Amino acid sequence: MVAKKETQDETKEKQEMQEELEELEATETEGIDIPEVSEVEELTSKFSEMEDKFLRARAEIANMSNRNKNEREQLIRYRSQDLGKKLLPAIDNLERALATEATDEQAASLKKGVEMVLESLTVALKEEGITEIKAEGETFDPNLHQAVQTVAADDDHKAETIVNVLQKGYQLHDRVLRPAMVIVAQ
Amino acid sequence: MVAKKETQDETKEKQEMQEELEELEATETEGIDIPEVSEVEELTSKFSEMEDKFLRARAEIANMSNRNKNEREQLIRYRSQDLGKKLLPAIDNLERALATEATDEQAASLKKGVEMVLESLTVALKEEGITEIKAEGETFDPNLHQAVQTVAADDDHKAETIVNVLQKGYQLHDRVLRPAMVIVAQ
C-alpha cells in the first residue's frame, strides 16, 4: 500500500509537472516570445522608415538652402534690370540733346548741365553693373548687336565688322538689356 | 519487478521532466525574455528620437520656406533702392536746369528735350515705386521731412506746417530714400 501510495503520489507529481511543463511551453509560444520578435521587427522597420524620412528632410533642407542662396544672389545681381532698362531712352534723349548745336550762351550753359547729368547717370548705371555694349569696330555678334543695315566690306572695313552704331546697346553683367543697333560690313 | 521497473522508469521520466522544466525556466529568464523587452524599449526610444528629429526638420523646412518667401518679396519690393537713390541728384540737376531762363531758340529747344527726359525719368521711378514725398503745405513729419529753417507762424502758415521745400524728398514704397529739406512755421 505504501509503495502503491508512493507510486500514486509520484504519478500525481509527475502529472503536475507535466501540466506545468505544458503550461510553460504554451506560454512561451503564445505570449512572450513570438510576438516580441515580430514587435522588434515592426519597430525596426518603423525606425528605418522614420530615419529615411528624416534623411530626406535633411537633404531637402540642404537643397532649399542652396536654391535660396542662388535665388537671392540672382535677385541682387539683376535687381536693377527693370529700372535700368527704363532709363535707357532718357539717356538716348540726353545724348541727342547734347548732339544739337549750342552757340547761344543760355544753350551752352544748359548743355553743360545736361552733360553733368548724363555723366552722373552713366556712373550710377555702371555701379549697378549696367555698361555700354562695345560695338564700333568690333566683330559682329548676334548676341550683342542687331544689324539694321549692311555696307560693302572694303580695306578699312573687313567683312563682319561693325561700321557704325545707330543706337547704343547696354548690358547688365552678362545679360543684354538692349542690343546695339549697328551697320555691318559684308 | 514489473512494478518496480515501472516506478524506476517513472522516476527517470520524472527526473527528465524536472530537468527539462528547469532548463526551460532558466532559458526563459536568462536568454530570451528580458533582453527582448529591453530591445523593444531601446527601439521604441530610438524611434521616438528619430521621429522628433524628423518633426523638427519638417518644421525647419516650413520656416525656411516662409523666411525665403518673405526675403524674396522684400528683395523684389526694394530692388530699385540703390539705383533709385543714385538717380536723385541727376533729377535735381535736371530740375535746376529747367529753372534757368531760356529765351534763346537753342536754349528753349534744349529745355524742351530736358523736360521730356525728366518726365520719362519720373515715370520710370514711379513704376518702381519711387515717388516724391508730399511736403509743401503738409504738417511737418520728422520721418519724412528735415527742417533746415523755421519761420514765425502766421494766419497763412499755421505752426508745424511746411512753408517751403528746399530740396524734394523721395520714398520707395514706405521707405524714405531721402527726406524733404523744408522750412517750417513755428
Instruction: Say which range, A43-57, B3-17, B125-139, B149-163, has the weakest mean pLDDT.
Output: B3-17
B76 and A75 in contact by Cβ < 8 A?
yes
Residues of B within 8 A of A37 (CB-CB) are: 36
**What pLDDT sits at residue A55?**
97
Per-residue confidence band for B22, with pLDDT thresholds at 50, 70 and 90? low
**What pLDDT sits at residue B39?**
86
- Compute the Cα dihedral for A159, A165, A166, A169 and give only its sign: positive
Locus of grid cell 520721418: B143
**What pLDDT sits at residue A145?**
98
Percent of chain A with pLDDT strictly greater than 70: 83
> Which residues 91-150 in chain A show a CB within 8 A of chain B?
93-94, 96-97, 100-107, 109-111, 113-114, 116-117, 120-121, 123-125, 127-128
Each residue's pLDDT tens digit, A87-117: 999 999 999 988 888 888 888 889 999 999 9
Say if A160 is an interface residue toward chain B (CB within 8 Å): no
Q: H-helix or E-strand containing B162?
A: strand B162-167
Instruction: Say which range, A149-153, B29-33, B37-41, B59-63, has the weakest mean pLDDT.
Output: B29-33
Through-space distance between the first and last CA atoms of chain B, rounded to whole angstroms: 136
DSSP-derived secondary structure letter, B116: H
Each residue's pLDDT tens digit, A147-173: 999 999 999 899 999 999 999 999 999
Pairwise CA distance, residues A136 & B132, whole Å: 40
Tell me: pLDDT of B114 over 50.
yes
Q: Which of residues A1 and A46 earns the better pLDDT score?
A: A46
Q: Which of residues B18 and B75 earns the better pLDDT score?
A: B75
Q: Are A134 and A153 in contact (CB under 8 A)?
A: no
**What pLDDT sits at residue A2?**
47
Cα A140 to the chain's mean position, in Å? Answer: 32
Tell me: pLDDT of A15 over 60.
yes
A21 and B25 in contact by Cβ < 8 A?
no
Per-residue confidence band for B17, with pLDDT thresholds at 50, 70 and 90? low
Tell me: pLDDT of B133 over 60.
yes
Per-residue confidence band for A64, with pLDDT thresholds at 50, 70 and 90? very high
DSSP string, chain A: -HHHHHHHHHHHHHHHHHHHHHHHHHHIIIIIHHHHHHHHHHHHHHHHHHHHHHHHHHHHHHHHHHHHHHHHHHHHHTTTHHHHHHHHHHHHHHHHHHHS---SHHHHHHHHHHHHHHHHHHHHHHHTTEEEPP-TTSBP-TTTEEEEEEE---SSS-TTBEEEEEE--EEETTEEEEPEEEEEE-
- Identity of the residue numbered B108: A
Tell me: pLDDT of A14 over 90.
no
**What pLDDT sits at residue A62?**
97
Pairwise CA distance, residues B145 & B161, whole Å: 11
3-state helix, strand, coil in chain B (%, to 5): 65, 15, 20
Per-residue confidence band for A60, with pLDDT thresholds at 50, 70 and 90? very high
DSSP string, A123-153: HHHHHTTEEEPP-TTSBP-TTTEEEEEEE--
Each residue's pLDDT tens digit, A27-53: 554 544 555 668 889 999 999 999 999
Pairwise CA distance, residues A68 & A76, whole Å: 12
Mutate to test the interface with A, among B104, B126, B127, B173 (most CBs of A within 10 A): B104
Cross-chain CB nearest to A54 (options B11, B40, B50): B50
pTM of the complete model: 0.74
Q: Between vectors from CA A175 to CA A173 and to CA A178, what angle results, nearest 5°?
A: 115
Tell me: pLDDT of B94 over 80.
yes
**What pLDDT sits at residue A124?**
95
A117 and B103 in contact by Cβ < 8 A?
no
Pairwise CA distance, residues B93 & A104, whole Å: 20
Q: Which of residues A105 and B91 earns the better pLDDT score?
A: B91
**What pLDDT sits at residue A61?**
97
Q: Are B184 and B150 in contact (CB under 8 A)?
A: yes
Residues of A within 8 A of B7 (CB-CB) are: 3, 6-7, 10
Q: Are B143 and A116 in contact (CB under 8 A)?
A: no
A75 and B80 in contact by Cβ < 8 A?
no
Nearest residue on chain B to A55, judged by CA atoms?
B54
B110 and A102 in contact by Cβ < 8 A?
yes
Residues of A within 8 A of B128 (CB-CB) are: 82-83, 86
**What pLDDT sits at residue A1?**
45
Q: What is the mean pLDDT of residues B134-149?
A: 96
Pairwise CA distance, residues A119 & B19, whole Å: 107
Phi, psi of B180 (to 5 degrees): -75, 135
Mutate to test the interface with B, among A12, A37, A47, A65 (most CBs of B within 10 A): A47
> Which residues 4-23 in chain B show a CB within 8 A of chain A?
6-7, 10-11, 13-14, 17-18, 20-21
Q: H-helix or E-strand containing B118?
A: helix B105-127
A10 and B14 in contact by Cβ < 8 A?
yes
Instruction: Say which range, A131-140, B94-103, B145-154, has the weakest mean pLDDT.
Output: B94-103
Mean pLDDT of chain B: 87
Mean pLDDT of chain A: 87
A117 and B58 in contact by Cβ < 8 A?
no
Q: State the complex-level ipTM.
A: 0.73
Our CA-based measurement puts residue B175 at a distance from the nearest CA of chain A, in whole angstroms, of 17
Q: What is the mean pLDDT of residues B38-63?
A: 95
Closest CA to A65 of B64, B53, B54: B64
